[in-house]
């Protein structure tokens, strides 16, 4: 148990509705009446965001969310398979937990799995990943404005807009938050 006076953004708490991560926290002391705490909470499983108000000093259940390095091995009909880097144990994670992050994951890469009581909740990717270009149209110079781009397909199937000089076989760095081209690696 932890008091609502001691919580901070980023902490996770267990409520009757499920597991929530604190996005915003505000301690309010009105002129009349008792102080209260207003929080913006994000449901870890569904991603839904809600506002909730607690009395100041009220106890809530603190949830310990574990973040551990795992190696992404492969994907099959059971889901995505990962290996714990410390114990070398392997397990599968369902496709709905990975969602859009699969566009940036290549076999053998190290990712951080977010887990609660041994159950995977999701994956945290690095800020940028290096991916090999598998398909690219030839960049034709012409009467274009400077900074022209073309679409290329990388090894995971993701389509990225890149400068004209990028060709098949090049390795590019892609931002995992936006999906944008950063630089050639």
Tell which of 22, 38, 63 closes a domain. 63
How many CA atoms lie less than 13 Å away from 119 in the CB half-sphere?
8
**Nearest CA-CA partner of 68 in 52, 86, 54, 51:** 86
With a cut of 50, which residues of the chain have pLDDT below it?
none
Give CA torsion, residues 103, 92, 72, 111, to 10 deg.
80
Residue 144 has a pLDDT of 59
Of 74, 91, 124, which closes a domain?
124
Q: What is the CATH number of the domain that holds 59?
A: 2.30.30.30
Indicate whether this model's pTM tops 0.75: no
Judge if 43 and 6 occupy the same domain.
Answer: yes
What is the per-residue pLDDT for 46? 76
Q: Provide the CATH number for the domain around residue 82.
A: 2.40.50.140
List pLDDT tens digits, range 74-110. 999 888 999 999 999 998 888 878 878 888 999 999 9
The pLDDT score that the predictor gives to residue 40 is: 93
Domain containing residue 164: 128-184
Query: For position 145, what pLDDT does the model report?
Result: 60
């Amino acid at each position: 148990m932890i008091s609502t006076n001691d919580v901070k953004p980023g902490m996770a708490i267990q409520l009757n509705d499920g597991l929530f991560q604190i996005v915003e926290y505000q301690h309010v002391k009105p002129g009349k009446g008792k102080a209260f705490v207003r929080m913006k909470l994000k449901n870890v499983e569904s991603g839904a965001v809600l506002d909730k108000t607690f009395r100041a000093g009220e106890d809530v259940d603190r949830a310990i969310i574990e973040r551990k390095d795992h190696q992404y091995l492969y994907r099959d009909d059971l889901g995505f398979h990962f290996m714990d880097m410390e114990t070398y144990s392997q397990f599968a994670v369902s496709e709905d937990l990975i969602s859009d992050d699969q566009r940036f994951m290549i076999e053998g890469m190290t990712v951080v799995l977010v887990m609660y009581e041994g159950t995977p909740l999701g994956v945290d990717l690095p800020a940028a990943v290096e991916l090999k270009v598998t398909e690219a149209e030839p960049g034709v110079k012409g009467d274009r404005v400077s900074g022209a781009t073309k679409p290329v397909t990388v090894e995971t199937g993701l389509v990225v807009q890149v400068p004209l000089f990028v060709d098949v076989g090049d390795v590019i760095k892609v931002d995992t938050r936006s999906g944008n081209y950063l630089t050639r690696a």
